Amino acid sequence: MTYDVYLGLDVVRTDRTLVFYENEANQAKLWDVLAVYAWMDKDIGYVQGMSDICSPMIILLENEADAYWCFERAMRRLRDNFKCSADSVGVQSQLGTLAQIVKTVDPKLHQHLEELDGGEYLFAFRMLMVLFRREFSFVDSLYLWEKSVSFDIKVDLKELWEVQGP
């Protein structure tokens, strides 16, 4: 199957409980933005889960072009999550990081997960892939996204010091 078949299947499934997507024109907007992105990013194309990332932008921004560029910008940060090769899926590095964090913060929990054969943290795959979009309500996931993006602001104090001086 080509990406447009997967894309079509995912568009009708994405946020199907929201009134917004009862209107087929809104589903078409989601399809358009995802199809253009897949066409522009030939290395990745369309991968399941991208619709969950794109949907809030379609809902919140009336203009399709604005929604596309917001989605494209978000995918710059998330693109590696969707890379797949014969050996691995992009999000695996984040699963490894999660495992190290839990091992450090709560060694007993990590050991328990190891004993349950959950040490690879595959249970968190979807959570990390689509940024908790399916684990929380629409509004709660947007709130979580807002917080995570706002805390990701990196200020290089050394660089600031060198530019402005003491």
The string of pLDDT tens digits covering residues 81-133 is 888 766 666 777 788 888 888 888 899 999 999 998 877 888 888 888 888 88
Span 46-68, mean pLDDT? 94
C-beta of residue 59 within 8 angstroms of C-beta of residue 20: yes
pLDDT > 50? residue 26: yes
Position 160 scores a pLDDT of 44
Reduced to 3 states (helix: H, G, I; strand: E, B; else coil), residue 154 is coil
- % of the chain exceeding 70 in pLDDT: 85
On the CB side of 47, CA atoms within 13 Å amount to 19
Res. 152 pLDDT band, cuts 50 70 90: low
d(CA 6, CA 44) in angstroms, rounded, equals 13
Tell me the domains of the chain and their CATH numbers: 1-83 (1.10.8.270)
Q: What is the pLDDT of residue 32?
A: 96
The per-residue pLDDT for 163 is: 52
Residue 157 has pLDDT above 60, yes or no: no
CA atoms within 13 A on the CB side of 154: 3
**Residue 111: which H helix or E strand, with range?**
helix 107-115
| pLDDT of the residue at 101 | 85
What's the rounded mean pLDDT across residues 63-78? 92
18 touches 26 (CB < 8 A):
no
**CA 89 to CA 138: how far, in whole Å?**
26
* Cα distances (Å, whole numbers) of residue 124 to 51, 120, 121, 130, 164: 18, 9, 6, 10, 43
Average pLDDT, the chain: 83
Answer whether residue 31 shows pLDDT above 50.
yes
pLDDT at res. 153: 46
Band (2; pLDDT cuts 50, 70, 90): low
**Sign of the C-alpha dihedral, residues 142, 147, 149, 150?**
positive
Q: Which residues contact 57 (CB under 8 A, 6 or more apart)?
A: 33, 66, 67, 70, 71, 74
